[in-house]
Amino acid sequence: MKAVHVYQYGRPENLTLVDLPKPKIQPNELLVQNVVAAVNPYDCMVRSGAMWFMEGFRFPKILGCESAGIVKEVGKKVKQFKAGDQVIVCTGRRNAYAEYLAVTEGMVTGLPESVNFSEGASLPIAGSTAYDALHELGNIQSGQNILIYGASGSVGSFAVQLAKLAAAHVTGVCSTSNLSGVKALGADEVIDYTTTDFRTLNMKFDIIFDTPSVLKFGNVKHLLNRHGTYIATLPSPLTMFYQLISTKGGKKVKTVFAKPTIQKIDYLSTLVYEKKLKVILDKEYPIEQIAAAHQYSETKRAKGKIIVKF
């Protein structure tokens, strides 16, 4: 089977396509043949060595957090799935960049009819991150003012739509080429950061969601209302400092870590099936071009999700 190995931390060119035997399943496992896998910023951070303190120095590693494919075999203890089922797979932090996966039932959920493989593989990480940021950390409420920075990216595009589904007033911030796309997702207002400094807005927000984690809380806290929340997707020493000193009664700083569950993925995929949530797909690469997919992800210019196909 095709798989992508990393033998040492470094540049995208360190990703190596290899041929491995298909995994053998245990009684409680399914064998899934991946059709696609999604590329996430976390994958790039692991490959570069930025997450060494979590991922350690054991090599080779197979990266990838999420995929979608077809069940080929099931162990005798598997109850919910059968060969031929189309499924979404959430592997956690690794192993999705492989043509075949041996996974337990807790890592798999069904792919609804009319939801394609690329859409399904895009939901676990970015979709859950957006959901958790708004609902679990931000406690979003109807009628609130929400600012989403990076509104055209994979997390941002989900966040705009989920905020609108929660009946919030959404201001999206993006570049010139993405203005119409973000407006089409339902944003009430769209600001072009290349021509307008949104920090000068005469508005107050209940949530500022910094999806690429490039803003500094000190530069945007004046835009938050008295009990507002600034949410980042990546920890930094400064963000963690502000998070420690922020108080429950005042302006808060929080960092969202993707915590996908089968229940959340099912909720999101149902929204896609019901056409209440749109998955924005940017580029698809053959698995042989995984290095190019990582290079593009690291530009931070992706308009939605990046997919690799087996």
pLDDT tens figures, 6-36 = 999 999 999 999 999 999 999 999 999 999 9
Residues 146 and 176 in one domain: yes
Whether 89 maps to a domain, the answer reads: yes
Residues 78 and 143 in one domain: no
Look up residue 113 and give its two tokens. 């009819």
Residues 217 and 156 in one domain: yes
Residues 106 and 8 in one domain: yes
CATH code (residue 223) = 3.40.50.720
Residues 152 and 200 in one domain: yes
Whether 263 maps to a domain, the answer reads: no
Where do we find the tokens 């999705």? 96
Number of domains within the chain: 2
Yes or no: say if 173 and 195 are a contact pair by the CB < 8 Å rule: no
Specify the 3-state DSSP secondary structure of 136.
Answer: helix
- H helices of the chain, in order, are 41-48, 52-55, 117-121, 128-131, 154-165, 179-184, 217-220, 237-245, 262-273, 290-297
- pLDDT confidence of 244, banded at 50, 70, 90? confident
Q: Pairing between strand 145-149 and 108-110?
A: unpaired
Residues in the chain, overall count: 310
Residues 117 and 131 in one domain: no
Yes or no: say if 238 and 210 are a contact pair by the CB < 8 Å rule: no
Residues 59 and 147 in one domain: no
Whether 131 maps to a domain, the answer reads: yes
Question: Range of 165's domain?
Answer: 125-255
Beta bridge partners of residue 192, listed in sequence order? 174
pLDDT tens digits for range 54-95: 899 999 999 999 999 999 999 999 999 999 999 999 998 899
Of the candidates 36, 31, 29, 2, the one whose C-alpha atom is nearest the C-alpha of residue 16 is 2
pLDDT at 307 over 70: yes
- What mean pLDDT comes out for the span 216-225? 94
Residues 50 and 112 in one domain: yes
Residues 115 and 136 in one domain: no
